[in-house]
């Protein structure tokens, strides 16, 4: 496998990331499942929870969609608080894990296989749409993903999502001190791409947008931004998750959490 920075279309991103998440799902759930909690809601590797953040508001009796729902842990938390949460994910294997945890916990998250850029729901279907590190950084056509969210939300509805903090794109993805020296331009939006050496096929893609890009995207789709939270690394939290660690997290933000409301038209 080799790493490149180069433009990638929406189709190519999806063709790479769906199978990649299918391959990775078992390892992902066995490595991170306990930390996530079967019916837990963390916004990222810092362990910052929705109970602390409160960006979704009171979810009881609300129609809620999780985009990039994985094994549905966050949606199960919403259900356990009286919300009608539904999941959508690109990876069949991730959704199989969701079904497994539904059966184990007795808290079922009805979920569909799909993509963030073409939500299979009618207009004005939901009060809340959210993604916890789900979908958005894997999508090339981000305008479509944000406008699809606006379409399925009811006026006044809430949108919240966490992503890798955009400033992290300046640094090598290394949890140690090597990951603290800026070596890439923050403004370079060229996607991160992994290519299979043997076949030349793109096998994984991530897309970068700056903080300013996110403000423009949300405002352009009719949202008013209500929060931009940058969770601090908690005292005594020593878990390493990919490039996230205490070494870096005590100095630079690893996660950005946006909250927004859809303005009435
Ligand atoms: C880091 S996981 C986050 C899932 C869950 N919130 C968690 O913390 O485990 C990212 C999820 O996004 C999904 N995903 C990637 N691209 C997507 C797309 N275009 N549309 C919907 N989901 C997508 C992946 O299959 C994966 O389950």
Residue ID of nearest Cα to ligand 1 atom 26: 70
Q: CA angle 219-44-201, nearest 5°?
A: 85
Residue ID of nearest Cα to ligand 1 atom 27: 70
Ligand 1 center to 116 CA (angstroms): 9
Query: What would the two tokens of residue 147 be?
Result: 């406008």
Checking 53-62 for CB contacts under 8 A at 24+ apart, the result is: 53/227, 53/229, 53/257, 55/158, 55/160, 55/226, 55/227, 55/229, 55/257, 55/259, 56/128, 56/130, 56/158, 56/160, 57/128, 57/158, 59/83, 59/85, 59/128, 62/127, 62/128
The strand pair at 153-164 and 255-262 is best described as antiparallel
What pLDDT does 265 receive?
83
Residue ID of nearest Cα to ligand 1 atom 10: 134
pLDDT higher than threshold 90 for residue 59: yes
The whole-number average pLDDT for the span 98-117 is 98
User: Residue 130 half-sphere exposure, CB side, CA atoms within 13 Å?
Assistant: 30
d(CA 118, CA 70): 17
DSSP state at residue 170: G
pTM of the predicted protein model: 0.98
Give tens-digit pLDDT for 63-81.
999 999 999 999 999 999 9
What pLDDT does 203 receive?
95
Give tens-digit pLDDT for 136-194.
999 999 999 999 999 999 999 999 999 999 999 999 999 999 999 999 999 999 999 99
Q: How far is CA 22 from CA 17, 90, 201, 203, 230, in A?
A: 8, 9, 16, 12, 30
Pocket of ligand 1 (CB under 6 A): 14, 17, 21, 36, 67-68, 70, 74, 89-91, 94, 115-116, 132-135, 138-139
Q: CA angle 215-218-222, nearest 5°?
A: 135
Ligand 1 pocket: which of 16, 24, 35, 90 to mutate (most atoms within 8 A of CB):
90
d(CA 237, CA 252): 15
What pLDDT does 61 receive?
98
Ligand 1 center to 265 CA (angstroms): 30
Query: What would the two tokens of residue 190 be?
Result: 């060229």
Q: What is the CA radius of gyration of the chain?
A: 18
Which atom of ligand 1 is closest in space to residue 28's alpha carbon? Answer: 9
Across 96-146, the runs of DSSP E, i.e. the strands, are 111-113, 126-132
Ligand 1 pocket: which of 16, 19, 34, 68 to mutate (most atoms within 8 A of CB):
68
User: Any idea how long the chain is?
Assistant: 265
Ligand 1 center to 110 CA (angstroms): 16
Ligand 1 center to 140 CA (angstroms): 14
Residue ID of nearest Cα to ligand 1 atom 4: 70
Chain-wide mean pLDDT for the chain? 97
pLDDT higher than threshold 90 for residue 41: yes
What pLDDT does 250 receive?
97
Residue ID of nearest Cα to ligand 1 atom 13: 68
What pLDDT does 62 receive?
98
What pLDDT does 45 receive?
98
């Amino acid at each position: 496998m080799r790493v490149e920075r180069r433009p990638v279309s929406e189709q190519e991103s999806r063709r790479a990331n769906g199978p990649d998440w299918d391959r990775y799902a078992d390892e992902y759930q066995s490595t991170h499942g306990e930390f996530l909690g079967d019916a837990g809601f963390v916004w990222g590797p810092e362990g910052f929870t929705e109970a602390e953040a409160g960006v979704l508001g009171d979810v009881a009796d609300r129609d809620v969609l999780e985009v990039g729902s994985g094994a549905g842990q966050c949606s199960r938390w919403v259900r356990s608080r009286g919300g009608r949460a539904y999941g959508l994910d690109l990876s069949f294997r991730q959704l199989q894990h969701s079904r497994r945890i539904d059966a184990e916990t007795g808290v079922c998250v009805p979920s569909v296989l799909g993509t963030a850029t073409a939500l299979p729901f009618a207009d004005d279907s939901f009060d809340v749409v959210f993604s916890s590190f789900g979908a958005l950084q894997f999508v090339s056509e981000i305008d479509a993903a944000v406008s699809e969210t606006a379409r399925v939300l009811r006026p006044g509805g809430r949108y919240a999502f966490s992503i890798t903090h955009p400033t992290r794109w300046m640094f090598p993805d290394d949890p140690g001190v090597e990951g603290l020296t800026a070596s890439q331009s923050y403004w370079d939006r060229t996607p991160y791409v992994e290519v299979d050496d043997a076949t030349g096929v793109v096998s994984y893609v991530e897309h970068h947008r700056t903080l300013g890009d996110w403000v423009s995207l949300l405002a352009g789709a009719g949202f008013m931004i209500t929060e931009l939270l940058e969770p601090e690394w908690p005292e005594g939290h020593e878990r390493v998750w990919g490039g996230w660690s205490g070494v870096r997290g005590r100095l630079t933000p690893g996660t950005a959490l946006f909250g927004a409301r859809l303005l009435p038209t």
